[in-house]
Structures are given as structure tokens and as C-alpha cells.
A = this chain, B = another copy of it.
């Protein structure tokens, strides 16, 4: 069952990861820092949360279903002792959400403890699963993180089997695992951070200082906003295909990143996922979104009286659109900000106008006007249909011109984002004119793929490439497995 606040008509991110390594003598409260960094990344996954912390001898783990603030209490925090650790927020794409799929994954290996937190989707997980099972590994869950963990647990076929060789194994994983994966890995005495060679999911690196300005250690996190929350300095991003080790010797690049031009960072991080105050590829997301609005104004101006955005993610684009078009900006929709995840079914009456449970229209700002409503994307189109009706009926707008700050989504994502299957993607089923009619708008326009890329690259064009498969169908990895079959069923117990 879908929870109401699941924003079912929005793309869903799947995870946020964090990792910490501090000097033992600094007595930093690693678990507490991990807690607040997961708290800052709550938007990347609300289904489960977890943490594994080590003092070099003993690994303590705590995970559970729910928000970070629900999973951890002071008793749990007190038990999580150690000077390094990793953490994870999870959003489940499958209906089968269960605590056994919660992360981090932790196993004992020949060379000591191994804990893994993962953001992304390994597209050849089915093949890797099969390989592992052929080697005789029984798999407890349907998670690709367990696949990664067991893959890493296997000894590297080198002569000297006494050395852990975690770094060789991580390098091997880069060779065999396809798709998107940003990993934070904890072993007996150090922390590794790594991104897939295409750099599809973000991961960045920060330095922790204490109140006296002394370096306490380092942290990695999916987004830099988590660094800001802890007052850590944002050093840089972990590069695509890069493996970084953090231990008592500081930060070491175990394997340098691949060339940036061959990368395929998910462009939707800019469009919707990331917090606006995060810096991705050197740019603050808020600014990128403002540029999207400016570009949208250029590509698709509207004959209208007023502009407003659908709260909250499209507000930067709306602000910039208004500024660029010279139209006054207003607030047209009010969102219930205190809404929490609920599984209570609405009544029949409410179901037909479900959008009201989340939004109300501000008639005073809209009545009798020709309005431009900016949103960041259209997935299934059901919410947009109800929003247009709300703005027209309750808001009394004269005309409703919908402008979307990204191109039409007409392809599913197989790299860790829960969009929808192709038959549920509105743009995969009809052209823009038909969509306009279907949502009941007076006009509808999207930002062009070129316009989006331009906005993302910004003034100082970034060399790195982006995955825009959801808009273009140009998948950077082989997705035939997914396209040919409903592969998930094969994973089920």
C-alpha cells in the first residue's frame, strides 16, 4: 500500500549515505554526527534508517523502519560507541519493504568486519546474484547491497590470502558492477568511499573540525548539505570510479577517478532530488534550478498576469521564470507542511480530489488572472490534472498555463530512481498537445533537453556528462534485462 505522502506522482530517490572517520583521541561523537547527517538527508529516503559504528574492535549496529528520528533514541545512541562509522537512509522502490532490506549491511569475513551502505542500483545485480549463489552464497534479502557486500566478502584470488586486500576487491567491484552505486564501506580499521565509474549518484567529502579549529576527522555524504549541517568543510566530490580510503593516515586516493567526460551523473539530482542548498558538480542546486527557470522563460514564455510555483521544489525555477519574463511572482498554492506519512485511506469523496489533502489554492492571488504554474516535472500526470482543476475551480484563475522546468519524462529509470513503468509515464503515452488537453491546461510547455543541459552546465560549462535517459532514452548502461522482463519478480523470495 502506498502511503499518502509518498508523493506518488513524483520521482523517488532511493538512498542517502554517510560515513565518518575521526581521530580516536578527539573523542568525537561519531554516532551523534551520523544521526544529524542522516537527518539532513532525510529527503533521500524515509522508509528505513541505520548506522554501524566501530571503535576498531567492536562494531555496533542499529537499524529500523521509519524516519531517522523514529529509528534512533538516546538508548540506541548510547550503545553506538566508536570513532568511525557509516549510516544510511532508505527509500524502497518495491512494495516489499522490510527491515531485512534496511542498511547498512554487516558481515564477518576472513579479514574482519565489513559494513556497507549503498546508494544507487546495480543494473546487473541479477547476474552478480547468480554468480554468488553459484559460489554457494545463500542470500538473505532481495537487496543489491547484500550482493555488493557478499561480493566484497570473497577473497581476491591473490597468492597472499592473509592480507585483507579490500582495495583490490573494491577495484574489482568497479569492473564487474554496472549501474549506479555510491558506496561507503567500513572495515576493521578504515573507511572507504567509492562511486561507480559513471558517477551516477553523488558523493562528497568533507573535513570535520572541532570548536578550537583542530581537525577532528573526515566525513563523506551523499550531499554537501549534510556537511553544512555539521559545520564540516566541503572539500570536494568523490570522483566517478574513484576509491578513497580514510584512516589514521588521513585521506588517500586508492584509485583515481575516471575522466569526467565519460561520466553520466543523474541529471534529476539537479531537477528534483537534491536539497537546494547542496552543491553538486561544483554548483549549488538552488542556482541550477534558478537557471532552469530563466531558460524556461526564454524557451516558453506565456501571455499571463502572474507566475507561481508548485511548492516546494519548483519555487527557485518559478522565481527565476518570473524575473526573466517580468511577470509578477505570487504564491498560488499552499502546501500542508506538517503532513506526515499516513496509511489511512481517504473517503470516496476525498479520493477524487486527493490533491486537496496536500494543497489549497489561494484565490486572492489567482482570481480572474491568467496564471503560469511552474512545476519541476510531470510523471504520471494525475497530480497535475488535479492541480490545474484546483487552480481553476478553487483559485478561480481565468487561464492556467503550465510550464515544466525539465523535459517530458518518457522513459523509466533503472539506476535507482523510482519513476514509474513506461505505461504509467504520461509523456510516454502521448504528445505535449495531448498532455495539455489531458491535464486541462490552457497551455503546456516543457524545458528542452538542451535547455536543461545548458542550465545544469551553467556559466562555466562543466565537462562532465549527464544521464538524461528518462528524457532521451539514451541509457548509459545496458538495460535490456529490465526492458525485456519484469525482472524484479525473479528476485523475490
Contact = CB atoms under 8 A, between A and B. Distances in A.
A230 B352 CA distance: 11
A474 interface: no
A460 interface: no
A75 to B, nearest CB: 9
A271 B110 CA distance: 40
A330 interface: yes
Nearest to A59: B493
A68 B136 contact: no
Interface stretch (A197-205, A257-265, A360-368, A411-419): A360-368
Contacts of A337: 43, 312, 337
Interface in A296-332: 312, 315-316, 319, 323, 328-331
A269 B338 CA distance: 17
Contact of A364 (B29, B74, B287): B287
Interface stretch (A32-40, A397-405, A432-440, A462-470): A32-40
A357 B277 contact: no
A331 B286 contact: yes
B153 A343 contact: no
Interface in A55-69: 58-59, 61, 67-69
Contact of A73 (B67, B105, B343): B343
Nearest to A61: B493
A334 B225 contact: yes
A228 B394 contact: yes
Contacts of A392: none
A349 interface: yes
Contacts of A230: 349-350, 356
Contact of A362 (B28, B231, B284): B284
> Binding site of A, secondary structure by majority: helix, strand, loop or mixed?
mixed
B39 A339 contact: yes
A340 B341 CA distance: 11
Given A336-B229, A339-B42, A344 B114 contact: no
Contacts of A150: 136-138
A55 to B, nearest CB: 12
A70 interface: yes
Nearest to A33: B347
Given A336-B275, A343-B73, A106 B140 contact: yes
A161 to B, nearest CB: 8
A139 B357 contact: no
A107 interface: yes
A394 B234 CA distance: 12
A229 B360 contact: yes
Nearest to A341: B69
Nearest to A362: B286
A485 interface: no
Contacts of A231: 349-350, 353, 356
Contacts of A39: 336, 339, 342, 357
B155 A137 contact: no
Contact of A286 (B70, B161, B364): B364
A353 B129 CA distance: 46
A23 to B, nearest CB: 14
A134 interface: yes
B43 A364 contact: no
A492 B113 CA distance: 10
B286 A365 contact: yes
B136 A356 contact: no
Contact of A316 (B77, B229, B331, B344): B331
A138 B155 contact: no
Contacts of A153: 133, 136-138
B340 A42 contact: yes
18 contacts: A32-B344, A36-B357, A42-B340, A46-B338, A58-B493, A69-B341, A74-B344, A108-B133, A108-B138, A109-B138, A134-B161, A137-B153, A140-B140, A211-B352, A286-B331, A316-B331, A323-B328, A337-B337
Given A74-B345, A138-B149, 12 more contacts: A72-B344, A108-B138, A114-B138, A135-B154, A211-B349, A225-B334, A225-B360, A230-B349, A284-B362, A319-B331, A329-B329, A337-B337
Q: Which 4 A-B pairs have the closest CB atoms?
A: A107-B138, A136-B154, A138-B153, A277-B334
Interface of A: 28-29, 32-33, 35-36, 39-40, 42-43, 46, 58-59, 61, 67-70, 72-74, 77, 105-110, 113-114, 129-130, 133-140, 149-150, 152-155, 161, 210-211, 225, 228-231, 275-277, 284, 286-287, 312, 315-316, 319, 323, 328-331, 334, 336-350, 352-353, 356-357, 360-365, 394, 491-493
